[in-house]
Amino acid sequence: MVGDMRRVLVIGCPGAGKSTFSRRLRDVTGLPLHYLDMLWHKPDRTNVNRDEFDARLRGILERDTWIIDGNFARTLPERLERCDTVFFLDVPTETCLAGVETRIGTQREDMPWVEHEFDEEFRRYIIDFPRERRPQIIRMLADAAARGVRVRTLRSRGEFETALADARTQYG
């Protein structure tokens, strides 16, 4: 189900493995990778304003090729209109919590700072994600698939590996 990927979204709960998957997909395909967290967050832990974020995102969406990593529900409809492929990393909550725990204290390419603690608000967001965010994502992906967008839901690390192997087959 890889097809000719040119404009790819990688979405899922924080800690699901989006950034790792996205980096590996970039390495296989050569498509430029953009992290929504890097567009939104500043190194001083503040955010750009909404207009600036939207302008940055529009600039990326206007390009012919990209991988965009991140959720940001407010802009998902606009991104779904422009993409040809979506990878939805739909893994168990425990996997997501463990994923966030393991990256505490490490420098990451997808964030402009090092996180030193797993704050309770973020933990709660992850725990609530399946109930509060996932149903809306599922509906939006069904609509996108009906319009011809290739949607691939990956539910385990093994399925991540299969998807990357499929991409390697196509992109050599």
* CATH class as words, domain 7-171: alpha beta
| pLDDT tens track for 88-124 | 999 999 999 999 999 888 888 777 767 778 899 999 9
Predicted local confidence at residue 3, as pLDDT = 64
Mean pLDDT, all residues of the chain: 94
How many Cα atoms are found within 13 Å in the side-chain-facing hemisphere of 46?
A: 4
Q: How far apart are CA 133 and CA 131, in angstroms?
A: 6
Alpha helices (runs of H) in the chain, residue ranges in sequence order: 18-29, 36-40, 50-61, 76-82, 93-103, 120-132, 134-146, 157-171
Which residues, at least 6 apart from 2, have a Cβ–Cβ distance to it below 8 Å? 85, 150, 163, 166, 167, 169, 170
Domain spans, the chain: 7-171
Token couple for 44: 């001083």
Q: Is the pTM of this model over 0.85?
A: yes
Which range of 42-46, 98-102, 128-132 scores highest in mean pLDDT? It is 128-132
Predicted local confidence at residue 51, as pLDDT = 97
